[in-house]
A and B are shown apart, each in its own frame.
Chain A
Amino acid sequence: MKKMLAILLAMLLCIGCVAAMAETTIQWWTPNWDEPESREMAAEFEALNPDIKVELVITDWDTYKSRVTAAISDDNAPELYSVLTTDVVPFAQLGLLEPLNELGAAAGVDFDDLLPSAVAIASIDDTVYGIPFRHDGSGVYYNVDLLKEAGYDSFPTTWADMVEMSKALTKDGVYAFAQPLGNQANAVTRLVQQLYTYGGDVLAEDGVTCTLDSDAAKSALNTIVSSIQEGYASPSSAELDNTKERDLFGSGKLAFYISGPFDIDTLLADYPELNFATAVIPGLDGMACTTANGWTIIMASKAKDENKEAAAKLLAYLTTPENQARLTDSFPASYTALAYEQFATDYLKPFADQLENSKPEPTYTRWAEMEPIIYEYIQYAVSGSMSVDEACESMAADITALLSY
């Protein structure tokens, strides 16, 4: 009897060892705002694939970039990461990402169903380095009651009309809007949006000459500077980021603000009394041009080779239309998912319209070095230390000097 038990025990141990050896563990770094859905999907995937274990690492907005940078550079790096779509190309250019055209297709990623504009931001030439699952731009959130009090039933469609309305809205401690100049990325994105609206660009076609001294750039920066200096954008703009703008809007201190569609749920949950609506961003003669970005899942090239197939399987699962719809508060990057009812609300419609007139946020190789320079001169212009013209010419000169080496 004892002999039998010993043999049984040994067999069980062997089976356990073999099972443990056969199990592949894949790490997926996902942001904290996606954590509940990510956990659900990981559990579902494990149920469907008992030989693959999914380990989640939760990141946050403030530190995700530096943490991912450190992790992805390591030998035997974790396999999958959710990152901003505009971060994909810089990682890929350092050789840190696995090309996904073949690996993804073999695992079941339906490339034909992905929005080409989203895939383009995550690609170099025709090589795809990330599978986007969220794709969005900006729009306007406005306080319906405050606009009505000022005599407006809808949001203006041109920038000039919006400025006119802003002057009427600014009174009794309420400002029409604010500029998110307390945060580098937010501030530079706002300038680039205005720049695109005026038909300008950051670099000339040669890729090394900065064109931020163009008339378009000067007009773009002037819209930001004048909104504060003329008093209809909050004077505390230099201390604000997008989140603080949302809080000020929610508490009735701002009549409108510009942000992405991901704020809708937060506003509905945090400010249930707020009567707000959404609109497209006004431009010169109609809708402005916005910058588009989103979130994408990438695979580390330095991950263990034997894990890559399983990682691709998980990647394909996470980016199915159904799961894209679960992972986004704004828009998915899949045609099929976009047709779902949840993306056809009145709040979301202006954001969808705005995407029709959008350009990707800059993905220049040395954009990360250019951005602080642009931010610095925006601050000089807004604080009055430099004129708009001087700021634009100086930023263009500095960036051209930077790119010449």
Chain B
Amino acid sequence: MRKPLLTKDEKKAIPFVLPGVLVTALLIVYPLVYIFVMSFSENGVGQSGFAGFTNYIRLFHNPQFTRAVSNTLIWTGYTVVISFFLGFAMALLIHMKGIRLKGIWRSLLFIAWIIPGVVKATAWKWLFTTDGGMVNHLLMSLKLISGPVPWLTSPAWAKTALIIVQIWATAPYVMLMMTAGLQQLPADLYESADLDGANGFDKMLHITLPMLKDVSFICLLMLLVWAINEFALIWTMTSGGQNTTTLSLLIYNQFKVLNLNFASASAVMQLCVSMIFAVLYTRLVLKEEKQ
């Protein structure tokens, strides 16, 4: 006998699940489909003829797009990798035996993450001001630099300044997640390792890192999504000037100047980049579950 598609219990659950599914479809699927249709449309408001791949061809021939993709990759690569390792290092430091007031350290470090995006961007913009900014003042007082660094007004420095702020803002999240993960690790594993004569590096490599794999995946995925979609920080600090335009800013700029179809094509491209990471993550999780 053929197995029914849904069990009796699953059928009963449909009315309860349906409102949530409908709301999700309305809020997520509809805008996605609409953007996709607009990206293939001649008219910016998506009500005109089919434009084929014209918008995409124009997109790939736009020097701004090429630079935005390159900036997005640089920005994402640096912020994700450094934030992850810095956050992990902070977590290990706080988790060490002998460290007092762990809760207070965690809370203090976590403040950077909970401050609203525009507020922290505005504060850092002041700190990075070329003349009279606190960062330059501090570095000059410590004799680390001889003259003021044009942090936000030079293409050579602006990206670095933005990456510093993003790392400052997101590393505490990794720290918090990793600290929670570290607290869950069974102490008997480390005791056994001690009996087997394992050193600190061995314990890190064979116990800590494998046991924190799930938390690390979540942290990395979140860092990637935040980096790819980050808008407020870059917009507030440089408005995309000094070669800091990423895909998010390019989409906004195109929308602002009425290139709605072009903006939609850019958004689809950004979605594709995010989807690559999302699919990788999902596959890894499914693989883990099967094992």
Contacts and interface: CB of A to CB of B under 8 A. Distances in A.
Given A235-B130, A398-B63, A375 B43 contact: no
Q: How large is the interface on A (under 10, 10 to 19, 20 to 34, 35 or more residues)?
A: 20 to 34
A95 B262 CA distance: 17
Nearest to B57: A405
Nearest to A234: B131
B255 A66 contact: yes
A90 B257 contact: yes
B63 A383 contact: no
A182 B254 CA distance: 20
Contacts of A66: 255-256
Contacts of A376: 67, 241, 243
A17 B262 CA distance: 46
Nearest to B252: A66
A184 interface: yes
Interface string B177-205: 00000000000000000000000000000
Contacts of B262: 369
Nearest to A187: B241
A383 B253 contact: no
A368 B153 contact: no
Given A383-B155, A385-B156, A402-B63, A69 B256 contact: yes
B287 interface: no
- The secondary structure that dominates the B interface is loop
Interface in A111-141: none
A385 B58 CA distance: 28
Nearest to B155: A385
A373 interface: yes
A375 B256 contact: no
B122 interface: no
Contacts of B254: 369
Interface in B220-259: 239-243, 245, 253-259
Nearest to A394: B63
A184 B239 contact: yes
A340 to B, nearest CB: 35
A91 B258 contact: yes
B12 to A, nearest CB: 41
The list of the 9 closest CB pairs from A to B, nearest first, reads A368-B257, A238-B153, A398-B63, A405-B61, A383-B154, A73-B45, A405-B58, A66-B256, A236-B131
Interface of A: 65-66, 69, 73, 90-91, 94-95, 181-184, 235-236, 238-239, 368-369, 372-373, 375-376, 379-380, 383, 385, 398, 401-402, 404-405
Given A69-B258, A369-B254, A380-B155, 19 more contacts: A65-B256, A65-B257, A69-B255, A69-B260, A94-B44, A94-B45, A183-B239, A184-B239, A239-B129, A372-B245, A375-B241, A376-B243, A379-B242, A383-B156, A385-B154, A385-B155, A385-B156, A402-B64, A405-B57
